[in-house]
Amino acid sequence: MTVIAEIIQSQFFAKQKKKLHKNQIKDLDNAVKTIFENPAIGNKKIGDLQGVRIYKFKSSNMQILLAGEIVDNTLYLYAFASHQNFYKELKKYIHH
């Protein structure tokens, strides 16, 4: 089992997080904590997003998708958003 030693936010992730309300930040932080405690959680993607895991959680009665990847005991947080255009934007960010 993988043990996460470090968490790194992408600039895109950090910029998105700044726009949230306090209760949404709390929900996001709880989701990150869940991933930290159970690195195998979430759906592993294939194809263009190979290696990226998508974890789904609720915030303000909306389903939010959180994209991250674990490389060498480091959790990289890439992006989060509601489902609309999420994968398209994530692919654009990862492959830029």
Q: Which ranges of 38-85 does DSSP label H, i.e. alpha helix? A: none
pTM of the model: 0.91
Provide CB contacts within 8 A for 57, sequence distance 6+. Answer: 27, 30, 31, 34, 63, 64, 66
Chain CA centroid to CA 71, Å: 14
The pLDDT assigned to 1 comes to 65
CA-wise closest residue to 81 among 92, 70, 71: 92
Domain of 21, CATH number, reads 3.30.2310.20
Domain-located, residue 77 = yes
Q: Which ranges of 1-96 does DSSP label H, i.e. alpha helix? A: 11-18, 22-37, 86-94
Domain-located, residue 82 = yes
The pLDDT assigned to 95 comes to 79
The pLDDT assigned to 69 comes to 95
pLDDT by position in tens, the chain (length 96)? 678 999 999 999 999 999 999 999 999 999 999 999 999 999 999 998 999 999 999 998 999 999 999 999 999 999 999 888 899 889 888 877
* Residue 29, token pair as written in the block: 């932080």
How many structural domains compose the chain? 1
The pLDDT assigned to 80 comes to 96
Range of the domain at 73: 6-94
Are residues 35 and 42 in contact, defined by beta-carbon separation less than 8 angstroms? yes
